[in-house]
């Protein structure tokens, strides 16, 4: 039985230098409580001969309250025997072969081609490395093998199986003893250590893979649209202080649903009939292209045998055909022309059930009907998850701390290290019995924050990473004399009353926090289909005409799905005109609470130059030292999915950002942003960006803070760098540090520099020690109880939890800090690595400083997960799209493909030319503090997930066409009413009907011929308004709602048509009652949907809703009162009366 696949788990690749004993270290340890001191037993020490990449650890932190926690890591043993490392070369190149295929080839080599050589089995990392516990019996240092895949051995062309040449070359012997020396501080991090860590990671591989995790179908969730979620497990063997750890975490993989490809395609386009995929039957080309983007690149298996009876090779879909199998022709080898459908019928004895359906084109160029393909399980969908599925993904991925730790511990059974022949033969064991690693952490004291005059409390202390703005004024509020409101929502939906409510709410909240905001802005309703820049320019001109000056602020109300409008607004404000803009969603403004507008005020104030709050100088003495003025920088390279190159695409650039404070209170920040080479992680133009930030800092101190000319330059630079891996630390020191120093030299200053790398994407998580009941029999699944006082209300560790022992680097200066309070799920600490430190900071100093900087993020009244300058840099990167003209030719779509070097160079130049600089008036302001500028991360994702996804129901096109014509829309229900009621008119006048017992409230018979025509006309015109709303809808959710509403309209129309024959013709009062109830429910829900997207349509349906409620009551009463009579009876509520 073959072993399931896994490849490419995250393997630490950074240098691991040694520990330098700091003079203060002994004093630090003596000051700690006993329990902390005991945790120091066995921690590594090192001498001066040990080399490092970053800074050697100067000391350990001692500040804060000690608290015991678990870490999602388990102690593992180090093998004692020598390992042998072999280099792998596969021809054709293993770089171009799919990783799964290289794994299959090596498996075939070991089990079938040369089992006598590969016993016991070796382990393979999927690319270039094989490791063995013994030296392989090669005649020389290398040997070449010919390997074929039996599944691919024959083809319809009659050629023989494809032969791959695999050459193995002995590279080195690995002595695991180097790891023992390394974790004890007696070994520098060199290639031997790195190779040994790699060798230990490989035996743990299993299951379908991505870069960091593997996934198993033991826990799945079907989310529709051809997708399902799989539970995944991250695993990585890492060196720690005095021990090797295997770090385990859970993750979520979005997989293509396995099974027939035809079924997957139908589910994605929300259809049931396979012929919906037939161009002859009306498949729109845009729908085919959308489907093509979704399934391109996935592997499929064919369900038909080849000419010789063999099973065909797995194929990779390249694209979809433009015609069906019955229309696609190709030339046979003998010269005759044949359609794809005829080929499978005549040569494969496989007549197609759906010959008009499109085909998929695979890598070889062959066309295969969709119905003959199946999707194997375990294929990751690497494209963006559809927005309407975000909630499903979050529900599946989000776990509270106790549940997450339970899953991790349960995951050890899935990982089955003890049952793996590879793990056993390498002499490795994982200490299951000890459970997750227990670590002594500390909870740092939060910084105090200062607010402005008029606040009830001038200074506050956050609790669990949060505070509120009740009775508080901004430290420096702004005054806004002129502002305009531009509304892109339909006026019928967002009318003048709604606009005034929004204005009053915003004005009131601004006054509460000290902002002076005029209460009479000019209001403009505009069409989002027009030129946004011209509309905003006209609004600004109208304001200037009225007030003799342009607006200080433009508030823009966006409709649902107004992303393109948002980008145009930001380009206009930030780049073209230099005016502050604040975008609000119309849906958020309806009945918005004061807290919503208070959050908006946080953004508006800093955009216009105000200051919301500052850290109390006593909390950040490092920053407020008058003798050592300090500038704090945050840098990032864009990793946004929308604007960062997609996998396999080299034609789009990366974007860089540098953010720095200009004031002494580290509350006012400026930014610089650039375009650079695709996938380039080092910041190429850091010198010019640093020069800009440093010069602006000096200028602000001189002009705004009135510092003496000799005291404007910074004496210290603290540089936080995000977006680099451990393996790139040396590049930061060799490439970026010199650029910062060059910028300083050009300004004739010489500040001392400290560089920290902040990593948020690691997989070390903390969980408070507490009782968690586990359904297991082993003591492994039992937690020892601890006080709930150690956790916040979400069950997470408290904000300020810091760890610099046990799981930290054996010798280098690093720490883990969880700086934010929990909301949903399990919070993730950030990892700080100190690479360079001319300032000789202690561990306590950098830990408390980093924690304090997480509290000065202006957009929130909660501490954030990384220091504010780095967070801002991430936002600036994500806003890079706004620097481009929305009407320009630069393509930011997510459908880019692989390009050659010439195309990539040309594309990069186009991006460079199109990148427009900030308007001068915005370059000194925090323009990046906006409503929805950041990627969907952490709490923003949670907020968006609260909106339920829409139903994917599509109304048939011919019914939409009918509703688009007003006369047809009105005439259809009238005609159906006459057609339904005429045949039963005589029954309505019969003795049977007259003798029925009726409930109270039955109207006279003369009412019905008047009421029903009026209702038919109103509902018919409502359907016309609904289809207009559908045609004008911008967002997928709005279109989905309108499609569902129209489907319900025609459903209730059919039920309406059926009621009279059931009631009068068949005299089935009970059945008619069910019909009436279904009709009412369909109409009520249809009205609810249209109330948001077409209010006039909803108003027209309200009388119909009321009448159906009354009619259902009468129908139910008649059925009940006459239920014991012979036959069924009912009251005429229809046009027959």
| 81 found inside a domain | no
Task: Specify the DSSP element, H or E, that contains 588.
Answer: helix 586-589
Same domain, 322 and 362: yes
Count CB atoms within 10 A of the CB of residue 624. 18
| 968 found inside a domain | yes
Number of structural domains (the chain) is 4
Same domain, 675 and 820: yes
Task: Specify the DSSP element, H or E, that contains 892.
Answer: none
Q: Write down the pLDDT at residue 1125.
A: 66
Q: Write down the pLDDT at residue 680.
A: 82
Task: Give all strands (DSSP E) within 411-452, no chain letters.
Answer: 437-443, 449-450
Burial class (CB in 10 A: 0-12, 13-18, 19+), 496: exposed
Q: Write down the pLDDT at residue 491.
A: 87
| 852 found inside a domain | yes
CA dist., res. 890 & res. 135, Å (int):
55
CA dist., res. 282 & res. 977, Å (int):
31
| 925 found inside a domain | yes
Same domain, 988 and 1117: yes
Q: Write down the pLDDT at residue 514.
A: 93
Q: Write down the pLDDT at residue 15.
A: 32
CATH number at residue 677: 3.30.420.10
Sign of the C-alpha dihedral, residues 410, 412, 415, 419? negative
Whether the Cβ atoms of residue 442 and residue 65 lie closer than 8 Å to each other: yes
CA angle 129, 135, 141 (to 5 degrees): 75
Last residue of a domain, one of 376, 404, 420: 376
Same domain, 670 and 590: no
Q: Write down the pLDDT at residue 26.
A: 31
Last residue of a domain, one of 318, 353, 376: 376
CATH number at residue 1031: 1.20.1260.100
Task: Give all strands (DSSP E) within 679-724, no chain letters.
Answer: 716-722
State both tokens at 82.
Answer: 């020598």
Q: HSE (CB half, 13 Å, CA atoms) of 461?
A: 6
Same domain, 903 and 972: no
CATH number at residue 321: 2.170.260.10
CA dist., res. 570 & res. 946, Å (int):
26
| 263 found inside a domain | yes
CA dist., res. 406 & res. 60, Å (int):
31
Parallel, antiparallel or unpaired: strands 83-91 and 164-174: antiparallel
Same domain, 1014 and 1097: yes
Beta bridge partners of 1094: none
Whether the Cβ atoms of residue 473 and residue 451 lie closer than 8 Å to each other: yes
Largest CA distance in the chain: 111
Same domain, 627 and 741: yes
Whether the Cβ atoms of residue 399 and residue 242 lie closer than 8 Å to each other: no
| 4 found inside a domain | no
Same domain, 630 and 581: no
| 510 found inside a domain | yes
The CA–CA distances, whole Å, from 711 to 630, 707, 715, 771 equal 11, 6, 9, 56
The CA–CA distances, whole Å, from 214 to 7, 222, 233, 424, 519 equal 8, 18, 6, 20, 56
Q: Write down the pLDDT at residue 770.
A: 34
State both tokens at 350.
Answer: 């496989």
Contacts of 508-513 with C-beta under 8 Å, sequence gap 24+, read: 508/594, 508/597, 509/594, 509/597, 509/598, 509/600, 509/601, 510/480, 510/597, 510/601, 510/604, 512/469, 512/594, 512/598, 513/469, 513/472, 513/473, 513/474, 513/477, 513/598, 513/601, 513/605
| 318 found inside a domain | yes
Same domain, 564 and 655: no
Beta bridge partners of 373: 302
CA-nearest of 823, 479, 462, 798 to 613 is 462
Full residue range of the structural domain in which residue 701 is found: 614-764+807-880+893-945
Same domain, 597 and 506: yes
Same domain, 721 and 860: yes
Q: Write down the pLDDT at residue 205.
A: 54
Same domain, 829 and 689: yes
Last residue of a domain, one of 571, 591, 607: 607
CATH number at residue 578: 3.40.50.2300
pLDDT means over runs of 10, the chain (1137 residues): 33 33 32 33 61 88 90 82 87 69 83 86 82 86 82 42 86 84 81 79 53 67 88 80 82 88 91 89 86 88 62 76 87 80 84 90 82 87 79 82 79 58 66 80 92 90 89 92 92 89 92 91 89 91 85 91 88 88 91 89 92 90 88 83 43 86 91 86 92 93 86 94 86 95 95 92 46 28 46 84 89 90 80 94 94 92 92 88 80 52 67 82 78 34 29 70 88 86 67 78 78 89 87 54 87 88 81 90 91 86 91 87 59 39
């Amino acid at each position: 039985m073959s072993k399931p696949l896994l490849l490419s788990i995250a393997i630490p690749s950074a240098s691991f230098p040694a520990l330098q004993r700091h003079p203060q270290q002994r004093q630090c340890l003596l000051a700690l409580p006993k329990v902390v001191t005991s945790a120091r037993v066995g921690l590594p020490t090192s001498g001066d001969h040990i080399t490092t990449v970053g800074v050697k650890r100067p000391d350990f932190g001692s500040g804060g309250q000690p608290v015991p926690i678990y870490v999602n890591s388990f102690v593992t043993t180090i093998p004692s025997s020598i390992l042998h490392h072999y280099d792998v070369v596969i021809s054709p190149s293993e770089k171009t072969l799919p990783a799964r295929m290289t794994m299959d080839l090596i498996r075939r080599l070991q089990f079938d081609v040369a089992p006598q050589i590969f016993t016991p089995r070796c382990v393979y990392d999927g690319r270039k490395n094989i490791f063995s516990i013994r030296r392989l019996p090669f005649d020389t240092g290398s040997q070449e093998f010919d390997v074929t895949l039996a599944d691919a051995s024959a083809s319809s062309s009659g050629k023989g199986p494809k032969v791959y040449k695999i050459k193995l070359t002995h590279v080195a012997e690995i002595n695991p003893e180097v790891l023992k020396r390394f974790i004890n501080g007696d070994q520098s991090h060199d290639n031997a250590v790195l190779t040994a860590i790699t060798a230990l990671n490989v035996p743990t591989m299993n299951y379908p893979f991505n870069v960091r995790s593997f996934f198993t179908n033991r826990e799945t969730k079907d989310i529709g649209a051809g997708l399902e979620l799989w539970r995944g497990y991250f695993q990585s063997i890492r060196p720690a202080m005095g021990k090797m750890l295997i770090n385990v975490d859970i993750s979520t993989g979005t997989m293509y649903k396995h099974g027939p490809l035809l079924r997957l395609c139908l589910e994605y386009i929300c259809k049931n009939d396979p012929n919906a995929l037939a161009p002859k039957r009306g498949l729109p080309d845009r729908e085919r292209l959308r489907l093509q983007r979704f399934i391109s690149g996935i592997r499929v298996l064919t369900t038909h045998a080849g000419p010789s009876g063999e099973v065909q090779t797995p194929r990779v879909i390249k694209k979809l055909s433009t015609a069906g199998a019955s229309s696609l022709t190709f030339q046979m080898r003998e010269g005759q022309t044949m359609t794809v459908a005829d080929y499978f019928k005549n040569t494969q004895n496989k007549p197609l059930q759906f010959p008009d359906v499109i085909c998929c084109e695979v890598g070889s160029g062959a066309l295969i009907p969709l119905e003959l393909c199946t999707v194997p399980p375990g294929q990751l969908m690497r494209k963006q998850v559809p927005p309407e599925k975000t909630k499903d993904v979050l529900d599946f991925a989000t776990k509270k701390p106790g549940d997450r730790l339970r899953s991790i511990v349960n995951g050890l059974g899935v990982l089955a290290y003890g049952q793996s022949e590879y793990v056993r033969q390498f002499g490795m064991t994982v200490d299951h019995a000890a459970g997750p690693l227990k670590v002594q952490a500390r909870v740092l004291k939060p910084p105090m924050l200062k607010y402005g005059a008029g606040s009830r409390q001038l200074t506050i202390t956050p609790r669990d990473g949060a505070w509120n703005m009740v009775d508080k004024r901004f430290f420096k509020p702004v005054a806004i004399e002129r502002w305009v409101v531009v509304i892109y929502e339909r006026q019928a939906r967002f009318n003048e009353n709604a606009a005034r409510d929004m204005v009053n709410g915003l004005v009131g909240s601004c006054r509460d926090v000290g902002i002076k905001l005029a209460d009479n802005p000019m209001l403009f309703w505009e069409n989002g289909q027009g030129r946004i820049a011209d509309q905003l320019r006209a609004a600004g001109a109208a304001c200037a005409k009225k007030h003799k000056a342009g607006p200080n602020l433009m508030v823009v109300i966006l409709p649902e799905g107004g992303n393109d409008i948002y980008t145009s607004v930001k380009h206009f404000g930030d780049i073209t005109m230099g005016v502050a803009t604040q975008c609000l969603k119309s849906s958020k403004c309806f009945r918005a609470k004061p807290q919503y507008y208070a959050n908006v005020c946080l953004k508006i104030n800093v955009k216009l130059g105000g200051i919301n709050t500052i850290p109390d100088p006593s909390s950040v003495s490092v920053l407020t030292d008058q003798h050592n003025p300090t500038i704090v920088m945050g840098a990032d390279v864009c990793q946004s999915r929308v604007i960062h190159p997609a996998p396999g695409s080299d034609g789009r650039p990366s974007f860089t950002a540098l953010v720095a404070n200009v004031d002494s209170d580290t509350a006012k920040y400026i930014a610089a942003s650039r375009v650079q080479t695709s996938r380039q992680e080092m910041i190429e133009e850091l010198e010019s960006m640093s020069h800009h930030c440093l010069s602006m800092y000096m200028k602000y101190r001189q002009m705004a803070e009135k510092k003496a000319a000799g005291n404007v330059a910074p004496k210290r630079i603290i540089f936080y760098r995000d977006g680099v891996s451990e393996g790139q630390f040396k590049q930061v020191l060799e490439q970026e540090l010199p650029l910062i120093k060059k910028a300083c030299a050009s300004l004739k200053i010489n500040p001392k520099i400290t560089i920290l790398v902040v990593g948020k994407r690691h997989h070390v998580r903390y969980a408070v020690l507490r009782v968690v009941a586990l359904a297991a029999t082993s003591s492994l699944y039992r937690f020892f109880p601890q006080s709930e006082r150690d956790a916040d209300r979400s069950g997470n560790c408290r904000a300020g939890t810091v760890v610099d022992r046990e799981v930290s680097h054996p010798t280098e200066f690093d720490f883990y800090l969880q700086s934010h309070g929990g909301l949903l799920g399990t919070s993730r600490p950030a990892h700080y690595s100190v690479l360079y430190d001319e300032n000789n900071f202690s561990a306590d100093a950098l830990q408390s400083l980093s924690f304090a900087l997480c509290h000065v993020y202006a957009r929130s009244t909660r501490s954030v997960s990384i220091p504010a300058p780095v967070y801002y840099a991430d936002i600036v990167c994500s806003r890079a799209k706004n620097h481009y003209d929305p009407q320009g030719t630069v393509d930011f779509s997510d459908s880019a493909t692989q390009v050659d070097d010439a195309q990539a160079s040309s594309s990069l130049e186009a991006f460079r030319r199109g990148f427009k600089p900030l308007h001068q008036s915005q370059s000194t302001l925090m323009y990046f503090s906006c409503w929805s500028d950041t990627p969907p991360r952490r709490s923003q994702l949670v907020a968006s997930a609260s909106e339920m996804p829409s139903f994917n129901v599509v109304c048939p096109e011919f019914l939409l066409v009918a509703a688009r014509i007003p006369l047809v829309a009105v005439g259809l229900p009238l005609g159906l009413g006459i057609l339904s009621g005429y045949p039963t008119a005589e029954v309505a006048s019969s003795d049977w009907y007259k003798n029925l017992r009726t409930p109270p409230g039955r109207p006279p018979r003369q009412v019905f011929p008047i009421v029903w025509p009026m209702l038919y006309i109103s509902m018919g015109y409502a359907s016309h308004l609904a289809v207009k709303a559908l045609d004008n809808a911008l967002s997928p959710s709005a279109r989905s709602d309108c499609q569902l509403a129209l489907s319900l309209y025609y459903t209730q129309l059919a039920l309406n048509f059926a009621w009279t024959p059931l009631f009068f013709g068949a005299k089935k009062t009970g059945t008619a009652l069910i019909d009436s109830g279904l009709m009412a429910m369909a109409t009520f829900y249809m009205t609810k949907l249209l109330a948001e997207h077409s209010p006039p349509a909803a108003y027209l349906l309200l009388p119909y809703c009321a009448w159906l409620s009354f009619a259902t009551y009468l129908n139910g009463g008649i059925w009940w009162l006459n239920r014991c009579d012979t036959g069924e009876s009912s009251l005429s509520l229809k046009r027959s009366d």
